[in-house]
Structures are given as structure tokens and as C-alpha cells.
Structure 1
Amino acid sequence: MTPKISIAPTRSHLPWKRLFRNRALLIGGVLITVMVILALFAPWLAPYGPAEQHTDHALASPSAQFLLGTDMFGRDQLSRIIYGTRLSFLVSAVSVSIALLLGTALALLAVTYRGWVDGVIMRLMDILFAFPFLLLVLGIMAAFGATLTNAMIAIGIVYTPSFARVARASALGVMEQDYIEAAHGLGISQLRLIVRHVLPNILGPLIIQTSLSLAFAILAEAALSFLGLGAQPPTASWGLMLNEGRDFFYQAPWLAVFPGVAVTLAVLAFNLLGDGLRDAFDPRSR
């Protein structure tokens, strides 16, 4: 019977008291919670349908009937922004999940086998890093087509090297710990060692990287939709709304201002959340 070994406390355990005292994290958490509620309950919270047209009120300024005004087709801007929250969060969640799973799997594979396997994987990550973000996304979408699904996959592939580097650096640090050497001495299999002892101890940095990547993924989706490579009309997308409103900026500035504010708040919220989590995990900030 294999004796049990005492494993050091995992670094993924959060100092909860410090979390609740972190203003940046609380503000970001509140903003994200509000946006998640808007995304989940959009059909009940939006005053109108996202594609519902009021032709008699085209380009109407903000009023009691249309709080954020209407666009050139008479569609309510507030309703479209609320539904756009659902799309932005869906795209960012799927794309970052792809990057997290793929990057972590590649990093653990590199740490497990080392040698030429590690070298090949990390050089591949370096090659992906060498390409400008937008250029690489455009190249992937040019090869597979400009659809929302391909946009999510492209964003996920582009962010994979960031997760691979973070996971590999953290895993290498864990592998040098004494309790890992003790586990090796007791004959614990490499797979069990990675799953039971290495992966839980690298969750902290991965959580921080995830929160920061979600902010950039929202920005990337908005940029692709603005360029016509993401969501297509009449889908409610913040980037698409910015694109549609640019021709009417002087006549109806609310068409571009309010979607821009939505993108800014979403990116700010995830950045504040990431900064707060980083402060909570960093023992030097105690």
C-alpha cells in the first residue's frame, strides 16, 4: 500500500479576507456581475427586441421612450447594447476557454517530457508570439472563413501562447519542490503527479491570466466585428454597432458613444478583476 505524502498547501488557495478588502477587485466584480445579469436576462431586461424597428423614430435622440436613442433603422440602442453583452461575453468565454485548455495542456506536456518535446512546443509558441495579434487573427480567418465561430477559434489560438508560458513557468517552479521529489521516490505515476499535485498549484496564475485575457478577448471581438469579420448584421454586437454608427457620428453621436462606453466598461471590469486577483495571490503585496 502506497504511503500518503504530505503535500504543501497549494498556491491556488485564495486569501479570502484580502479579496474582500481589495477595492479594484470589488469594483470589477460588481461590474462583471451586472453585465452577466444583463447577458443572462436580456429578453426580460431589454425594452425592445434587438432587431425590432421603429421606422418613425429613426435616429431619435435619447428620450424617455428610447433611453439611449435609436439607430438609422429605428432600433433601440439600449436593447441592442444589452443583447450585445450576451454576444461579447459568449465570444470571450469560448475563446479564452480554448486558449486556457490548449495552452495549459501544451505546457504540462512540455514540463512532463522536457527535452526536445519542450523545445518544439515552446518554439511553436514563440512563433505565434512573433506575429502581430490582428494579423494572425486575420490570417486564420482568411484560411477558414469570416464567421463568428471561426473568430472565437482564432482568438483562442492567438491567446494560447500566453497561457502556455504562464502554465509552464509555474509548473517548472512546482516541479522543483521537495514534495514533488518525494512523490517521485514513492513511485507515483507522472500523470497522477501532474493532475493531483502540479495542476492545482498553478491554478492561481492561470486564473489571473484568464481574467486579463477575457478583457482583451472582448476588445478583439469588438475589433473584428467593427471590421466586418465577426458578428454580421443584424446581430447585436458592440463592435458592429460602432461600425454602423461611424457614418452618423456628427448627426447622431450616441450611435458610437454608448457602444464604446459598453466596451470600455467591460474591458475595465476584467482588468480591475485581474489586478485585484494578482494582488491577492502575490505574497509581496501583503
Structure 2
Amino acid sequence: MEQLSDLKAILHSKRANIYYLEKCRVMQKDGRILYLTEDKEENRYWNIPIANTTVILLGTGTSITQAAMRMLASAGVLVGFSGGGGTPLLMGSEIEWLTPQSEYRPTEYVQGWLSFWFDEARRLKVARHFQLLRIEYLQKVWSKDKDLKNESFLISDLDITQAFSGYSSKVEQASNVTELLLIEAQLTKNLYKSAVSRTKQKDFVRNYDSTDSANAFLNHGNYLAYGLAASTLWVLGIPHGFAVMHGKTRRGALVFDVADLVKDALILPWAFICAREKMNEQEFRQQILQKFTEHKALDFMFDCVKQASLKGGAI
């Protein structure tokens, strides 16, 4: 059986896998985590390499054993329950993350984070910095991603250049979080327009409850990003309630802050492209996970949060 030290050999920021499972049973067998699918003719077992996994998301028709949860916790794998396709069902609850209850995590990051969090001015400074990092990441990804260039997502195009015009100065001048959220929302709205024009999704309106492919893929991709963000924060030992952008009373708000670092860069364009190509959810998910790995989304999240923590907000 694998030892605890073996399971943690791969740093979370370097782990390659996120799993979404449905209509199966997750269990521990002979020191491994397996999921069982029942066929008419036979039952099939598939192995999950937990030492190289950050998140397991359990959709409809799933169950998991206590022994499997114990082993996943020892490997530091984040487990979530969701509705079908990785997003909540209508009238369903928000996704619920189950985090390993280990307190043998580093202390410097949570202490550094809390050293600035109670100071509103310093907290706003970090929120501004996250917005600038988000744009730098998007521009970097869109500048070098050949697949996006082939889909006409060119960082030099006039509409995209105009979307970014003056953004940094507006962020720097924002006097509170409400202003910052409005600036962020306007940029995302402009990027939606650019994506719609390139993929000919003319009737698109952003609606979290809509069943059209573009909206469904945006929801699905966002929840994958939330999984990465939640995993980052758990590993660094920072509670989800200490947000810098989303409201202080909002449950899990810091997860949304960290996920926003990569959502517009990776989820937004591919949700529209995959919708136009009439991909199914599994194909879309594979595309997003490939791009997460290609553009080191998890590494980027770790770097941003660690930098803010270790500098105590003095960015």
C-alpha cells in the first residue's frame, strides 16, 4: 500500500488531473482509488492516480465509500459534489467542497494574508493587484496560444484592444471594491461581445440558468476553475472567507477571487468556441483541462496568492 509520504510526492501546483465523475461508485481497493461503472454485461473498474490529482468532482448518480474519502484526504485531494455536468441543477444547491481536515499545513501564508486583511486599504490594494494580474495573464495566454489565434482571438484586434483600453488606470483609481467589481464586469461584458462576434453566437445573453451550450459551458468551466482555486487555498491554509473582492459575508468568496484570475483568459473563449463546434460536455471539459495544463493555471494561482501573502499586502 502507498505510504502517506508517497502520496504527497507531487506538489499540488504541478498535479495534472481533475476528474468529473457521474453514474459510478468511487471506492478504495488494494491501496488504490477506483471508480466502478456498471454495464449490462460487466462491471468495469478504472484507476484514479490520486497522487497526481487536485480535484475530484462527483456529479449525478455517484457514491463514495468512507475508506476512499480517508485515502483521498491523506493525499490532499479536494472532493466536490455537484449537479449534472459539473454545474448545479436547477433548484439545486451550490457546489459543496469537502476539504481534508489536516492542520499540518504551512502557517506563513495564512498569517501573511491575515496581516493585511483587516486593513481595508491594504485589502483593496491586493484586490486591485489581482485585477492587474488577471489582465496580464489573459494578454499573455491570448498572445501565445496558437489555437486561439486560429480562432481569430487576436490580442491586437481593435475590439479587444479597446476592451483593455484604460483598464489598468481605472483599476488603480478605484476607491472601493464596488467600483472594482463594476470595472471588472464591464471588461468581461466587452470580452463576451468579442467572443460572440468571432463565434457567431448572435443570440447569446449571459444567464446562469440558461440551457444553451455557451452558458452551460461557461458555468461548467467556471466550476472547474473554482476547483483549482479551492485546492490552491486549501494547500496554502487560507480560509475561503477572507476575500478581497467578493463580499466579506459571501460563503467561499476567496475561491471566486482566485478563480477570476484565469476565467476570462481560458474559460470565456473556449466556452464559445466549443459551443459553436457543438461539442458535448466531456469534450469541452477535456479542452479546458488541457488549456489549464498548457498555460499552467494552477501554478499561476499559487504564485499570485503566495506573493500577496508573503508580502503582507505590500504589493
TM interval, shorter chain, is under 0.3
Greater relative contact order structure (CA < 8 Å, 6+ sep): 1
Greater helix percent: which structure?
A: 1
Task: With the length of structure 2 as denominator, give the TM-score of the two structures.
Answer: 0.25
Task: With the length of structure 1 as denominator, give the TM-score of the two structures.
Answer: 0.26
Greater strand percent: which structure?
A: 2
